[in-house]
């Protein structure tokens, strides 16, 4: 099993920085040219990084500190922490075990939704989040926010997606519902 996989998702509408590399780590920048949505793009990254023990997913408005990523993967393994988030899920860490247990992101959210929050709730229900909270300090130390990035969707476009996103999120977070979301190929 490969040790670390790092992916950055982007729509290709923003200029990307020169990302650092970590020797021996798999690194991909995944461009969602068709604008199928962040859940779909993250699922493609999970497929491409299959076989990695530690997976870090970044939105394109962040870059990372290589030494902190290496340190975090070691600490998360030692703590047996399988899932962590920072910046409201725009940066996530997940072990291969977490991906097998909770599956991918729910693509029903489309171009804007609560896919990160829903998946986080599934991780928590599966007992994978531990007690470190949504803004994990170890993961937060890995990242460098890129400020002044233009928005991809307008506020009106985001608002149009909220009713569907809320329905899907409610399904993922209420009652006894739990399933590992398996995206279509």
Asked if pLDDT for residue 130 goes beyond 90, the answer is: no
Phi, psi of 150 (to 5 degrees): -70, 145
* Encoded tokens for 172: 């993922």
DSSP secondary structure letter of residue 73: H
Asked if pLDDT for residue 164 goes beyond 70, the answer is: yes
* Residue written as token pair 């608002």: 159
Give residues with Cβ within 8 angstroms of 123, minimum separation 6. Answer: 82, 83, 94, 98, 102, 129
Asked if pLDDT for residue 150 goes beyond 70, the answer is: no
* Encoded tokens for 179: 């399933």
Mean per-residue pLDDT, 24-46 = 92
Q: Which helix (H) or strand (E) segment is 58 a member of?
A: strand 52-59
* Domain coordinates in residue numbering, the chain: 2-173
Beta bridge partners of 45: none
pTM summary value: 0.82
Q: Helical H runs in the chain? A: 38-48, 66-79, 96-102, 115-125, 137-140, 155-173
Q: What is the pLDDT of residue 129?
A: 64
Mean per-residue pLDDT, 22-44 = 92
> Domain 2-173 - what CATH class?
alpha beta
pLDDT one-digit tens code per residue, 70-104: 988 888 888 888 888 777 668 889 999 989 988 88
């Amino acid at each position: 099993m490969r040790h670390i996989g790092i992916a950055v998702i982007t729509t290709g509408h923003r200029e990307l920085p020169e990302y650092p590399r970590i020797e021996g780590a798999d690194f991909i920048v995944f461009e969602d040219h068709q604008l199928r949505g962040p859940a779909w793009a993250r699922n493609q990254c999970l497929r491409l990084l299959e076989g990695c023990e530690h997976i870090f997913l970044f939105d394109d408005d962040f870059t990372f500190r290589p030494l902190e990523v290496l340190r975090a993967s070691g600490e998360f393994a030692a703590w047996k922490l399988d899932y962590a988030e920072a910046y409201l899920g725009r940066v996530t860490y997940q072990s291969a075990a977490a991906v097998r247990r909770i599956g991918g992101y729910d693509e029903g959210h489309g171009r804007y939704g609560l896919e990160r929050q829903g998946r986080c709730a599934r991780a928590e229900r599966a007992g994978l989040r531990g007690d470190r909270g949504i803004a994990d300090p170890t993961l937060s130390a890995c990242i460098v926010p890129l400020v002044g990035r233009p928005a991809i969707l307008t506020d009106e476009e985001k608002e149009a997606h909220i009713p569907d996103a809320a329905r899907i999120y409610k399904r993922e977070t209420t009652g006894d519902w739990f399933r590992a979301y398996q995206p279509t190929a």
